[in-house]
Structure 1
Amino acid sequence: MMKRQSNENSISEVLKAFIQTNKLEAGLERVDAEKVWRTILGNGVNSYTREVKLKGTTLYVSLSSSVLREELSHGKSKIIGMLNEELGKEVIKELILR
């Protein structure tokens, strides 16, 4: 009797293959970018954040406070670095605060 070949893969490997095969990376990056923005910048900024959208490599953030928008604009490069570090790869190259 023939032995069965083992085709065992971990769940993470199967999910990665599924995501790549179905080209779902961009959608997951959009969701992750919003989650990371809310996590890293905390409740103070979140209370003024109306919308977070990732289009390509640009993160668009709508804020309800012009003062906060001005304050955050001074540290854009640092914010981008912290977000990309949390995401584990360079997803965001530009940050637009509206």
Structure 2
Amino acid sequence: MAKRKAENTSISDVLKDFIQKNNLETGLDKVDVKAAWSNVLGPAISNYTTNIVLERDTLFVQLSSSVLREELSYGKEKIIRILNEELGKQLITKLVLR
């Protein structure tokens, strides 16, 4: 049975501790990346996005428009920087558009 802490702790601290102890951080990062993609790039680009996969430090984004893929490829570094700022940590180092 888990030990009980004598002092008062906030719910956010308890949840962070639970996530770290159970190695749930990578799964939550994958969900957060999908939400960040739609928040940062907006609904127009999200409509053309068919799949988003985060593997290690590489974000794979599948787009249904080849024209949009070409346009986004010019600003990969900026997109990576903005997504990492939205996520609050250096999670993505490479962006692959398909």
- Normalised to the residue count of structure 1, the TM-score between the two structures is 0.93
Identity rate, percent: 55
What is aligned with 2:96? 96
Unaligned runs of 5+ in 2: none
Structure 1 residue 67, shift from structure 2 partner? 0.4
List 4+ stretches of structure 1 deviating above 6 A.
none
Separation in 1, partners of 2:64, 2:6:
56
Secondary structure at the counterpart of residue 9 of structure 2: coil
Structure 1 residue 43, shift from structure 2 partner? 1.1
Larger Rg: 1
What is aligned with 2:32? 32
What is aligned with 1:68? 68
- Normalised to the residue count of structure 2, the TM-score between the two structures is 0.93
Amino acid paired to 1:34: K
Amino acid paired to 1:88: G
Separation in 1, partners of 2:23, 2:6:
27
What is aligned with 1:83? 83
Separation in 2, partners of 1:6, 1:64:
54
Separation in 1, partners of 2:55, 2:42:
22
Unaligned runs of 5+ in 1: none
Structure 1 residue 44, shift from structure 2 partner? 1.0
